[in-house]
Each structure stands twice: as C-alpha cells, then as structure tokens.
Amino acid sequence: MITAIAAIAGLALVFGLVLGYAAVRFRREADPVADQVDALLPQTQCGQCGFAGCRPYAEAIAAGEADINLCPPGGQATMRSLADLLDREPKPLAPEHGVEKPRLVAVIDEDVCIGCTLCIQACPVDAILGAGKQMHTVIASECTGCELCLPPCPVDCIDMVPEPVTLKSWRWPKPGEFVFAAADAGRTSPPAAAAPRKEPVPSSEAEG
C-alpha cells in the first residue's frame, strides 16, 4: 500500500520535473499575439468593427476584449483564420457591424466635386489626392474600400464601384459542389455552321 503510494508520487515528481524543465528549455519565442492578429486583418481601417482602425481591434482581440467576428471586409475567411490562430469557436459575422461585400473602390464624380477636402481628411490611408478648391481624386490602387469618405462629402459625389477585372486578376471559378443531377455540358461557343466551300482555297502550297 505504502509502496504503491510512494511509487505513484515518485513518478509524478519525476514527470513534473521533466515537464517543467522542457517548458523552460524548449520555449519558443512567438510573436506577440496582437501582431499575429493584426497580420490577419485586411487593413481597411474602416472602423466598422467599432475600433479606431485595425491595430486597435487586433489589440482588443489579443486582450480578449473583442470578439473575432466583427470585421466585414475581412469576411468569413479572416474570421476563420482568427479562430484557427486563437483556438476560438468560429462564428458567423455579426450583422450589426456590416455585411461582407466584394471589394469596392471609391470614385469621385469630378463634375460635382467642390474641393472641400473633407474626404481627404477622412481617408485613413491618404488615398485621396487634392487640396482646397482643387479637384479631388481617389488613387484607386491605394483605396481600401472602407467608405469613410462617403459621409463627410457635402455634395455626395463619391460612388463605390467594384474593381474592374483584368486578365491578370481574373480568377478561375471553383467547380460546382457535387454536381449531382445536371451534367456540366459546357458547350463552348457554337460557331455558325457555314456551308463548306466548293472551290479550293486560293493560297500557295509550301514545299513538300
């Protein structure tokens, strides 16, 4: 009886010492959690999460003060990466903070713009070019689609438009999920069936 207790206690002591040593000896320096969370956020700086930018939101998440489903521009993908990183339950995006939308960029209607610089002051990434009483324009490649410039504009001259797709940015669509009944017939362009020509083609023959 005594020997059993002594044996178990001895094993517990040995394993405890081994684990304690390993915890110290093999410790890995990881990035601070806030940095890792910030790296996953889309940096739109729109404030839809309720914080003054992505970094404050990241810090709040790291401190456990904010939930991970408050970022609409990041969407489901970001929420899931955050859930993976922090080992929390994934949950749907909180609708009161906005809905997930495809990426939009702001465009200023130059006929209407009055040059008041209110939008320039509102843009969190300085993506609007202009000065007082000069034409304002949005640098499309820098615009994050945060929509913070829309409310301040007194003449409502800013529109959000989807980004144009180029050959470089075009993406293959994901194949349909488990197409059960309908066959992917996938006919390509049906060229008009023309009657075959009767006479041979007027061209020269290459050497045989």
Judged by CB under 8 A, which of 5, 24, 99, 185 binds another protein? 185
Residues within window 76-95 making contact with another protein, judged by CB under 8 A: 77
Return d(Cα 103, Cα 34) in angstroms, integer. Answer: 25
User: Minimum CB separation from another protein for residue 96, in Å?
Assistant: 24
Cβ contacts of 43 within 8 Å, gap of 6 or more = 54, 144
Nearer to another protein, 3 or 203 (CB): 203
Answer yes or no whether residue 166 interacts with another protein by CB under 8 A: yes
Return d(Cα 204, Cα 201) in angstroms, integer. Answer: 9
Return d(Cα 81, Cα 72) in angstroms, integer. Answer: 14
Answer yes or no whether residue 196 interacts with another protein by CB under 8 A: yes
Asked if residues 48 and 73 have their Cβ atoms less than 8 Å apart, the reply is yes
Return d(Cα 139, Cα 162) in angstroms, integer. Answer: 14
Q: How many residues does the chain have?
A: 208
Answer yes or no whether residue 204 interacts with another protein by CB under 8 A: yes
Tell me how many residues contact another protein (CB under 8 A): 55
Burial class of 36 by CB neighbour count within 10 A (0 to 12, 13 to 18, 19+): middle
Answer yes or no whether residue 133 interacts with another protein by CB under 8 A: no
Judged by CB under 8 A, which of 68, 127, 148, 158 binds another protein? 127
* Both tokens assigned to 149: 């410039």
Binding mask 20-59 for another protein (x = CB under 8 A): ------------------x--xxxxx-------xx-----
Answer yes or no whether residue 75 interacts with another protein by CB under 8 A: no
Q: Which residues bind another protein (CB under 8 A)?
A: 38, 41-45, 53-54, 77, 124-127, 141-142, 144, 165-167, 169-176, 178-197, 201-208
